[in-house]
Structure 1
Amino acid sequence: MAFVQGIMPLIAIVGVAGVLGWVVTTWLRIRHGYPLDGAWGQAVYPKHSDEAVERVKLLTQENAQLRAEIGSIKDRLANVERIVTDEAHMLTREIETLRSKSN
């Protein structure tokens, strides 16, 4: 009986340390985006369902549309930059031509 009473605090300490270790491990997994494990080692998150697959398809399509739109905007911006810089260069050239004519 004395042996059992002497070992009980050790068993309690090991049990509490095990639970705290599990809590900390789970917290770290959640914090860093790792999937959680279920009782038999299967991933609890993310779940693969038809809804999730459909959502990924929609997001992929939206991503492709946005990329195409960004490409179009880049082309338009390049044209605007070319027009702005060409006109400024032409204006400078015309001013220099007028100055050389007046001298």
Structure 2
Amino acid sequence: MSGGQFMVVLIVAMVMIASIVKSRYGYHARHRGGLAGEPGAETAETQRLREEVKQLKERLAVLERITVEKESSLEREIERLRNS
């Protein structure tokens, strides 16, 4: 095996090993929670922010419902006054 062929085999082996390591450690850490500071990690701050967003969505839904109810009752009141 000449020096060029050996270099090609070495590069292919390095790429294969790197892809195995990347898929083994990169994928599992992202999708299983991983260590603190990694992209998929659930920290206390993340949990707090998720809870806050949930509460804000609930409050928004209540405000939307109140607004729609007021518009409907206002329309009914206007129609009642027109018909009087």
TM-score (ref. length: structure 1): 0.54
2:5 maps to 14
Alignment of 1:19-38 (within 5 A): 19-26=10-17, 29=19, 33-35=22-24
Question: 55, 60, 73: which one pairs with 1:72?
Answer: 55
Structure 2: gaps (5+ residues): none
Identity of aligned residues (%): 29
How far has the Cα of 1:35 moved from its partner?
A: 4.6
Q: How many residues align?
A: 73
User: Are residue 61 (structure 1) and residue 62 (structure 2) matched?
Assistant: no
The residue aligned with 2:79 is: 96
**Which 4+ stretches in 1 moved above 2 angstroms?**
10-14, 22-27, 33-36
Q: Which amino acid aligns with 1:12?
A: G
1:82 equivalenced with 2:71 (yes/no): no
State the 1:34 CA deviation: 2.3
- Whichever residue aligns with residue 17 of structure 1, its letter is V
Q: Which amino acid aligns with 1:61?
A: A
- Offset of residue 11 of structure 1: 3.2
Which structure: larger Rg?
1
